[in-house]
């Protein structure tokens, strides 16, 4: 079994990474040292992925690594920061460090590999997935920790932003327009595809989507594209910004809470991919209660999108539309004052949610759960 030190050396320390200008000392000592350039500030984010909780058990090592870094980069994007350095805390089960066979996922492979090979292959794939995205995003691995236990990946990422220019959740004002990048709901379909791969309802799903369409959704789930370029171009333009990890309604709710405002979303403006619509049409067949509104409501409450949701004052919209953000954006709604948007309670006296979804005629679409819920 390779030692912790040879794992670090082989898979993480000896990689020919692009060095970041802010790194003074990388992997190898008790700590890393980074310098913060004059007139810049450092944004620090951290996210943990736990097997079976944040990704299905069958997810490939390459995708696990990619996603672990991508979700952190998405947080940096939402802050308007440019990625600089990151650390990796990796907890590996015995089955992946070559010790002990009980409950080893590798045992279920048809042709079992030697323990040392399983270990090396998994770590090699993991390291490749990690450095593939790190190179794209120009972020350097400068340290970490390697331990044994249930498969868990924690990445802490650092980014730089000009002083006082970071995008916050707290700057939205009544009258601002609300935008979202990309399309919503694809990752939720991807999760369904991943679960169906495990055998459940295989027929129903396979008749709806082609292999390419399923792969598109699985990629949206496992390899989210952090909207980094959009994030830093929105500095000075967006009044607030958040990345959507738990669902549009839930995450926009965080902007509303931080900015002390409410928001209305027009369901028909929520951007949906053709694949999402196709899947939904098939899935909802025969269930007459599910119309276009519910299709949008589902996309607005689905998790794992990693798109940006941001607000812009009407005066700044021409500037926004002149930018090449590297991804499509859609205007989906409007910010209103806390006391606006009707009363703070509906007719039945129930407290009105901070974020409401409206249908074409301006009626509120009731949504049971604003956060993560797949079909």
Min. distance of Cβ 107 from ligand ADP in angstroms? 25
Q: Which residues contact 159 (CB under 8 A, 6 or more apart)?
A: 42, 43, 45, 76, 79, 81, 82, 83, 84
Using CA atoms, how far residue 39 sits from 35, 78, 252, in Å, is 12, 20, 30
Closest residue to bound Mg ion by CB: 30
Residues 132-151 that bind ligand ADP (CB under 6 A): 141, 143-146
Q: Judged by CB under 6 A, which stretch of 23-31, 255-263, 290-298, 361-369 contacts ligand ADP?
A: 23-31
Rg (CA), the chain: 22
| Residue pointed to by tokens 């902007």 | 255
Q: Binders of Mg ion among 270-289, rule CB under 5 A?
A: none
Contacts to ligand ADP from residues 222-281, by CB under 6 A: none
Query: Looking at 64, 73, 76, 90, which residue binds ligand ADP (CB under 6 A)?
Result: 90
Residues in the chain: 375
Residue pair 310/241 in contact (Cβ under 8 Å)? The answer is yes
Q: Does residue 12 bind ligand ADP (CB under 6 A)?
A: yes
Q: What are the strands, taking DSSP E only, across 327-372?
A: 329-337, 355-358
> Mask of contacts with ligand ADP, 24-53, x by CB under 6 A?
---xxxx-----------------------
The least CB distance from residue 96 to Mg ion, in Å, is 24
Q: Among the candidate windows 24-32, 293-301, 303-311, 313-321, which touches Mg ion by CB under 5 A?
A: 24-32
Please choose which of ligand ADP, Mg ion, none residue 12 contacts, taking the beta carbon within 5 to 8 angstroms, the exact cut-off set by kind.
Answer: ligand ADP
Which of 231, 243, 136 is CA-nearest to residue 184? 243
- Residue corresponding to tokens 């802490």: 156
The reply on whether position 29 binds Mg ion by CB under 5 A is no
* Beta strand extents in 104-235 (DSSP E only): 140-148, 152-162, 177-181
Contact 36, 161 (CB under 8 A): no
Minimum CB–partner distance for residue 139 and ligand ADP (Å): 13
- In the list Mg ion, ligand ADP, none, the entry touching 90 (Cβ below 5 to 8 angstroms by class) is ligand ADP
Closest approach, Cβ 31 to ligand ADP, in A, equals: 7
What is the spatial distance between Cα 318 and Cα 264, in angstroms, rounded to a whole number? 22
Q: Residue 30, interface with Mg ion (CB under 5 A)?
A: yes
**Binding-site ranges for Mg ion (CB under 5 A):** 30
Positions touching ligand ADP (CB under 6 A) are: 8, 12, 27-30, 88, 90, 141, 143-146
């Amino acid at each position: 079994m390779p030692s912790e030190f040879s794992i670090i050396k082989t898979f993480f320390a000896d990689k020919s990474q692009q060095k970041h200008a802010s790194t003074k000392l990388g992997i190898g000592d008790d700590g890393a040292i980074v310098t913060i350039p004059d007139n810049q500030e450092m944004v620090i984010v951290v996210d943990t992925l736990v097997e079976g909780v944040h990704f299905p058990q069958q997810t490939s090592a390459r995708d696990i690594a990619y996603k672990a870094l991508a979700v952190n980069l998405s947080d940096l994007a939402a802050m308007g920061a440019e990625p600089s350095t990151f650390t990796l805390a990796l907890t590996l089960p015995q089955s992946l460090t070559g010790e002990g066979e009980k409950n080893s996922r590798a045992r279920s492979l048809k042709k079992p590999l030697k323990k040392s090979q399983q270990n090396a292959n998994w770590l090699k794939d993991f390291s490749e997935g990690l450095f593939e995205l790190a190179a794209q995003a120009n972020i350097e691995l400068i340290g970490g920790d390697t331990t044994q236990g249930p498969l868990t990946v924690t990445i802490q990422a650092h980014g730089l932003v000009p002083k006082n220019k970071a995008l916050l959740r707290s700057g939205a004002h009544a009258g601002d327009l609300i935008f979202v990048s990309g399309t919503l709901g694809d990752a939720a379909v991807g999760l369904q595809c991943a679960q169906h791969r495990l055998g459940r309802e295989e027929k129903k799903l396979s008749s709806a989507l082609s292999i390419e369409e399923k792969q598109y959704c699985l990629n949206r789930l496992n390899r989210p594209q952090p909207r980094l370029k959009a994030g830093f171009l929105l500095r000075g333009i967006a009044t607030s910004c958040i990345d959507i990890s738990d669902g549009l309604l839930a995450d926009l709710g965080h902007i509303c809470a931080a900015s002390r405002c409410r928001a209305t979303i027009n369901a028909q403006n929520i951007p949906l991919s053709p694949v999402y619509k196709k899947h939904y049409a098939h899935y909802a067949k025969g269930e007459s209660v599910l119309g276009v509104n519910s299709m949008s409501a589902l996309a607005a409450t689905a998790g794992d999108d990693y798109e940006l949701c941001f607000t812009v004052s009407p005066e700044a919209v021409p500037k926004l539309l002149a930018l090449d953000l590297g991804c499509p954006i859609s205007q989906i709604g409007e910010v209103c004052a806390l006391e606006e948007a009707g009363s703070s309670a509906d007719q039945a006296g129930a407290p009105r949610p901070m974020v409401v979804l409206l249908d074409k005629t301006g009626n509120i679409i009731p949504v049971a759960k604003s956060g993560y819920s797949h079909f």
